[in-house]
Amino acid sequence: MSEFDLIARYFTRATPGAVLGVGDDAALLRVSSGMEVAVSTDMLVSGTHFLPNADPFMLGHKALAVNLSDMAAMGAQPRWATLALSLPDADEAWLQKFSEGFFRLAGQHGVELVGGDTTRGPLDLCITIMGEVPQGAALRRSGAQVGDDIWISGSLGNAALALAHLQGNVQLAAEDFAACAPFLHQPVPRVALGMALRGVAHSAIDVSDGLLADLGHILECSNAGAEIAFSALPVSRTMQSYVEHPLGRRCVLAGGDDYELCFTASVAQRNGIEKISAQLDLPLTRIGTIIAGKRCTVRAADGSVMTMEEQGYDHFR
């Protein structure tokens, strides 16, 4: 199969939302009036971000999901994507499943694949996503204000717990692994939440590298500190039985791949945010407060400050 047959068969779909999609030297996109374009790229390297034998359907999903999550964190509506693929060979069964996983999630979000590049080489993929956000309305990392509540969507640490099991660092019961694995392989990007938070949140980020690391980016960009109540952190039923152990704490505070949104908003927005939570049927939990200074303090239930070791940090840095 030639490169062009491959592109035509697996990666060419109708793109009514673009002036011109796959097939020319460049795609043509028309930005809606009054909107800005949010652009983000994420690369997934075999062996680093996923295992070489990863299920191709789930990989197609996840590769797009991590990009959609960046749009969510900006409050942007995802519109278009390009896909650069390096493949060891034209494995049609793999391509079929990969493209199905990609296009199923793309369809759910109205995202159109408008171009890309295909080469032979080690398995790598790189997606660039483009979305629209009303002028001036994007959520940034830099907007947190002293006194803001700190919020998190969904629950924390499930993906890291599943990964710890796959890496042999913990032995989960079969039903516990089954409950956590979808968070690792098929994360749900919080796109609707990001758009609902326009004009509501002061700052936002998606949790890809762990809560403390990603909240740390908000703090750095906003020149602020934070105080987090460990007991307030939302965890799944599965995680409840691990959260008092070092590994569980590490998953919750420093585990990657959650793709939840962490955002800050003034206290006056509490009711509005509860309404958004109900509308989206998505738990939104207040986990702490933005304070003056630079430090992020995590307090245990008894009010004591958790040490870095208790936070699981030393194992990650």
User: Which residues lie across from 225 on neighbouring strands?
Assistant: 291
Q: CA-CA-CA-CA torsion for 187, 189, 155, 205, nearest 10 degrees?
A: 130
Laid out side by side, the sheet with 225-229 consists of 203-206, 261-265, 149-153, 284-291, 225-229, 296-299
| 23 or 34: CB nearest Mg ion | 23
| 38 or 114: CB nearest ligand ADP | 114
Cα 201 to Cα 43, 90, 135, 151, 228: the distances in Å are: 28, 45, 16, 10, 18
Question: Which of 246, 216, 214, 227 lies closest to 299 in space, CA to CA?
Answer: 227
Stretch that binds ligand ADP, among 20-28, 179-187, 237-245, 290-298 (CB under 6 A): 20-28
Helix (H, G, I), strand (E, B) or coil at 40: strand
Q: Is 91 in the site for ligand ADP (CB under 6 A)?
A: no
Cα 247 to Cα 121, 198, 242: the distances in Å are: 37, 35, 7
| 84 or 192: CB nearest Mg ion | 84
| 117 or 309: CB nearest Mg ion | 117
CB within 8 A of 89, min separation 6: which ones?
120
Least distance (Å) between residue 48 CB and Mg ion: 24
> How many residues sit close enough to ligand ADP to count as binding (CB under 6 A)?
13
| 7 or 262: CB nearest ligand ADP | 7
Q: Of Mg ion, ligand ADP, none, which one does residue 24 interact with (CB within 5 to 8 Å by kind)?
A: ligand ADP
At residue 77, φ and ψ (nearest 5 deg) are -90, 115
Q: Of ligand ADP, Mg ion, none, which one does residue 116 interact with (CB within 5 to 8 Å by kind)?
A: ligand ADP
Q: Of ligand ADP, Mg ion, none, which one does residue 89 interact with (CB within 5 to 8 Å by kind)?
A: none
Helix (H, G, I), strand (E, B) or coil at 14: coil
Which stretch of DSSP H or E encloses residue 66?
helix 56-74
Query: From CA 41, how far away is CA 149, in angstroms rounded?
Result: 29
Least distance (Å) between residue 4 CB and ligand ADP: 7
Q: Which residues ranging from 109 to 138 are in contact with Mg ion (CB under 5 A)?
A: 117
One residue of 18, 22, 226, 251 binding ligand ADP per CB under 6 A = 22
Least distance (Å) between residue 97 CB and Mg ion: 23
| 16 or 121: CB nearest Mg ion | 121
Per-residue contact flags (x/-) with ligand ADP for residues 35 to 74, judged by CB under 6 A: ----------------------------------------
Binding residues vs ligand ADP (CB under 6 A)? 7, 11, 22-25, 83, 85, 113, 115-118
